[in-house]
Structures are given as C-alpha cells and as structure tokens.
Amino acid sequence: MPKKKLTQIAVERIKPPPAGRVEYWDTQLPGFGLRVSDKGGRTWQCMYRVDGKLVRETLGTLALIPKIDVARERARQSMQKAAQGINPVKERKGTAEEERRQSEAAQVRERDTLGAILDRYVSERGRKRWRPEYLREVDRSFSVDLGPLRTRPIADITRRNLRELLDSIVVRGRAPHAHHVLAYVRPAFAWAVEREIISANPAEGIPDPDERKREARTRDRHLDDDEIRLFWHGCDEISGQFGPLFKLLLITAQRRDELAAARRSEFDLENALWTLPGERTKNSNAHLVHLSPLALEILGTLPRIASKEGYLFTTTGETPVSGFGRARERLAAAMLEERHKVDPDASAMEPFTLHDLRRTAATGMAEIGIAQHVLEKVLNHTGGKISGVAATYNRFEYLTERRAALDAWSRHVESLVRGVPSNVVELASVR
C-alpha cells in the first residue's frame, strides 16, 4: 500500500496499474486514500475503527468527487464520527433507506389521490353491482361535489375537510343533497379502509348534514315493513359473516355483542335453543333464546369450524368478529341501491343503528300481539310487569310463550321478505 502526498495534480497524474488495482494512501490525512484499477477506475476511500473494528468506507469516484479537498473533508468527517462511536457507513445506509422509503411513500401518495381511489371504487364496486341510474348519480357526485378534494392524496383527507365540504353544500340551501353526498362517500372510504389504502374512515361518525333529518331522529327508531325488506335483501349483498349476523339480530331480538361473541357450544340446534351464560349478558342472568326455523336456516349457512368451543362469528378463529361500523355502512349502501330499484328518485333512508334492530323486533312483536310480559322475557329485561320481590319468587320463565313469540315474529319477517304467508293472528296463547 504505497503512501503518497495526495494533491490535485498528483492524483491527476497517477497512472492505472498493469493489472488489478493499487491503493494510494495520503500522508497528509492518514486513513484517506485513492484506489486505482487497471480498468481506469479511481475511487476515494477511507479507513477507520469503530468500537475497535476496522471499517472501510467508499466515499465516491473521482468523477463524482473531482476535487481532492472535498473528498478529504468527507473522509475527515467520517473519521470524526467514528471517534464518537458512530459508524458512518451504517448511518449512510440507514439514511438512504429512509430516503427510499419516503420516496416510495410520496409516490404512493401522489398516485392514490382521492379522485383516483373513488374512480377505482366506482369501477370495482359500482359497475358490477349498481343499477345504471344510481351509478351515474354517485359518479356525478364524486366528480362534481368532491371536485376540490379530488387531486389531494386520499390519506390526507380529514374529517374536517369533509365537514367543510358538506357545510359548503348546506349553506347553498342544499342540505338534502349534502345528506346524499355523505351517504355516497362514507361507504367509499370504508371500502378504501378494507383495501388497506387508508387506515381510518374520515367520514365515520360525521353527523347528518341535513338538520331536519338529524332532529327527527330519536331513540324510538325502528324499521318499518318496507325497510325490513330492504334490510334483508341488503344483508344478502354484503360479504362475509355480517349478513347472517345482522339477520339473526333482527329475528332473535338479542343484543349485538351477545350474539357477536357467541360460541358454538352455546347452541343446541337439535332442540333449537341458544343458551346465553350469565357472564355474557347485560344483567348477568343466564338467558334462553328459542331458535325459529328461519334462525336455524341462517345458522346453517355459516362456515363450519373444527372446535365446538370456537366463536360462531369470527374471521381469525381466535376473536369475535369486529368492524360493525364499516359493515353497517356497506349495508346502508346496499339498501339504498335496492330502494332505487323500486323508486329511482328515492332519497337515502333514515340511518339506523344495530341496536335499532332489537327495537324493531320488540316493536314488531308487540304489533302482532305478543304480550308485554312475554316480550320482556324474550329481551331478557329485568324490569317490566314482573319486577321487584315478585320477580325474585316468580320462577315461571314463559318458555312456551317465548318460543311462540319468536316463531311468530320470524314468520312475520319471512312473509315480508319472501312473500310467505305468516299466518300471524291475535296470539292469545302467548299473552
């Protein structure tokens, strides 16, 4: 390894070796040098120790760094870092990796604009499943109403951006239209979350921009017969286990989390009974739920699992199903599409929660003649007509009446969604 006082002139005069390569080490800055190959390559390099280990760093070619003073200063900086226990080579690789990652992320952000993702959503979802009139309306809304936001990366769209956009529509006196725009974009963002394009739905939880609809909503919300039909057909359109889950919520009248976390071992299909253990009920009382023929039919559509102890509704096998908000948004979109098949000019239906399905069942059973004290038992309520000390001593569970009530309600729902005669009459037997 020849040593040489490396100057600009000396470097320019160095000839390539006949074969292989030669390293010239600077006498002015020990550890700094120039590597020259027989192919004519000239590369600046330096050597130093980091935590006792020898490190060789390539600084760059002579073509990249033509001035020796610049190359020497870079070598000096690396040596100073090495003296502090920092490995400049690893540091540079880490910086380069971070720059590469940021560059790729920037490219994805520039590619995944709101407009591009909405176009993809309409193409993948709408053109296959929506009727032409609804497709045109959604496409028009995405192009016109969301125009100011379309060029921005979808990952940058915030809840505030959407609320300001909706407010701008409302102040023009078009609150009902703002209501529809929200109904269109909310499932679109939910779809983007499913595709892992974004991590959260910025439209989730935004209140209805149409104040009249919002003020009209109360805790008494329940689905009428026409909405039950839309609901049932909408459940058939959404993918996964949510369709059967939502249907069972309606015809069993039980709570969302109690059904979503149910285990197969709780179900006795032969005797058409679901036994809810007390530790999983709201009032800590064990509860028996009769399974109507329609409920058994729905349960029969669920995928089989090896363990009887496993969850009835699960995607992982280890935890209960989750993601109810996004599933409800998909259901609402499917219901609106189904509604437009009958009335192309129909507006979006009034939003409802999954708990409203339980209220719908309770209201429906009352309307077909189920006595209140039986209904309280079906719902596993501790209050109602039998309460206090009387409830403590009353061991009569009205099992026969509860079975008749749920069968009657199930037949009523089936008559609505399938046109099957329900034969529901005044139910003296369940009073």
| Contact yes or no for 267/312 (Cβ under 8 A) | yes
Residues 256 and 396 in one domain: yes
Tell me the CA distances in angstroms from 392 to 351, 376, 401, one per residue in order. Answer: 39, 15, 20
Residues 230 and 141 in one domain: no
pLDDT in single tens digits along all 431 residues of the chain: 688 889 999 998 889 999 999 999 999 999 999 999 998 899 999 999 998 899 999 998 998 999 999 999 999 999 999 988 889 888 888 776 766 676 665 555 567 889 889 998 988 887 767 777 778 888 889 989 988 898 888 888 999 999 999 999 888 888 888 888 999 999 999 999 988 888 889 998 888 887 665 544 445 788 999 899 999 999 998 878 899 999 999 999 999 889 998 988 899 999 999 999 888 887 778 899 999 999 999 998 887 654 456 888 887 777 888 888 788 888 888 888 888 887 777 766 777 888 899 999 999 999 999 999 899 999 988 654 444 433 433 434 788 999 999 999 999 999 999 876 655 444 434 44
Residues 259 and 292 in one domain: yes
Burial zone of 324 (CB within 10 Å; 0-12 exposed, 13-18 middle, 19+ buried): middle
Task: Using DSSP, state whether 60 is helix, strand or coil.
Answer: strand
**Can you tell me the distance from the alpha carbon of 6 to that of 11, in angstroms, rounded to the nearest whole number?**
6
pTM, two decimal places? 0.50
CATH number at residue 405: 1.10.443.10
**Can you tell me the distance from the alpha carbon of 80 to that of 82, in angstroms, rounded to the nearest whole number?**
5
Residues 340 and 274 in one domain: yes
Residues 53 and 197 in one domain: no
The domain boundary residue, chosen from 105, 134, 165: 105
Please count the CA atoms within 13 angstroms of the CA of 223 that sit on its side-chain side: 27
| Contact yes or no for 252/402 (Cβ under 8 A) | no
**Can you tell me the distance from the alpha carbon of 285 to that of 282, in angstroms, rounded to the nearest whole number?**
8
Domain count along the chain: 3
The domain boundary residue, chosen from 216, 236, 270: 216
Q: What is the residue type of 199?
A: S
Which tokens hold the place of 53? 């280990």
